[in-house]
Amino acid sequence: MIRTSRRLADGREILYFDAQPVPREASDTRDLPAVATRSQLRYDALLDEWVVVASHRQTRTFLPPADECPLCPSTPGRPTEIPEADYQVVVFENRFPSLATGVERDVPAHVEGAPLAEVRPGFGRCEVVCFTSEHDGSFARLGADRARLVVDVWAERTAELSAVDGVEQVFCFENHGEEIGVTLSHPHGQIYAYPFLTPRVGKVLASVRRHREATGRDLFADVVEAESTGPRVVAANDRWTAFVPAAARWPYEVQFFPLRRVADVPELDDADRDAFVDVYLDVLGRFARRFDTPMPYIASWNQAPRSGRDEWWLHLQLFSLRRAPGKLKYLAGSESGQGAFITDTNPEDVAAALRAVVTA
């Protein structure tokens, strides 16, 4: 993999990743204002969680027509976020970031009138990852070679961002489909470098520690061992297993675990990465063909945080809120109000239905 670093007109970094040498000399000709990030972190004392307040994002680009897509390559007379006329995989700093390294550091100690609501600068980094220059493509249709390049990019970015002082956790993810809330339809994902431990990772770590204290065993290992041969397996090979979790929250949900413990994507070796691509593209194809139209989904890498790295087991969640043709699962009163999920589907039935999908 070959990395080429350049700068956009407003100073943001853009990185080109290519499988073979490609000259990358195009410059950004746009007249862009400097990026102004006013994010803050505010502490919710009742839930023991941090909330990112990023009100400047209200003006971000929203569902432009295809001929105005900012993630397509630049063409004569229409410069975009990517100055080159073509690309393989591109990563650049988000123009409307929730978190940024150059954020305003002079913030009050707490929210006015709320002494328990501590305030911190919205430090971190938000990156956009473009998987292909083809506007009408999708990850499911990338092919093995391009998908493998994306995995290598996830690994490279995770390693670099994890080394930044003040970053606690690196989160690679893809939002796919307008129903999910995607504002740009071009095939892309994102990477967030958080300065705090996210609620999900913190809760999982607490469960891992309780399980070890109670049984002397590793919770991740026990889950992988049980699910790797169970009735909820959707796809597998000699290095990965993909299964519907027994207590799935989402109508369609699959978790991908490597069969050996690694903390994050950078720790996957070449054979692990190739094997992941095989299983992942298989399951994405099943998601695309399960109903009359491809399912919207979120793909979410769960990587080790800085604190707790030795206890973590890398895994990916792939889930959709579509429960049936033309029907979505809405997070209404119980889910949004109390965080108590009520599922509309049976995990064993979902696994069987996905296995039955004809992908060829």
Neighbouring residues of 76: CB distance < 8 A, sequence distance ≥ 6? none
186 is catalytic: no
Q: How many CA atoms lie within 13 A of 36 on its CB side?
A: 6
SS (H, E, C) the chain: CEEEEEECCCCCEEEEEECCCCCCCCCCCCCCCCCCCCCEEEEECCCCEEEEECHHHHHCCCCCCHHHCCCCECECCECCCECCCCCCEEEEECCCCCCCCCCCCCCCCEECCEEEEEEEECCCEEEEEECCCCCCCCHHHCCHHHHHHHHHHHHHHHHHHHCCCCCCEEEEEEEECHHHCCCCCCCEEEEEEECCCCHHHHHHHHHHHHHHHHHCCCHHHHHHHHHCCCCCEEEECCCEEEECCCCCCCCEEEEEEECCCCCCHHHCCHHHHHHHHHHHHHHHHHHHHCCCCCCCEEEEEECCCCCCHHHCCCEEEEEECEEECCEECCCCHHHHHHCCCCCCCCHHHHHHHHHCCCCC
* Catalytic entry in 56, 188, 211, 315: 188
Q: Report how far residue 215's alpha carbon sits from residue 45's, in angstroms, rounded to the nearest whole number.
A: 32
Q: Which residues are catalytic?
A: 188
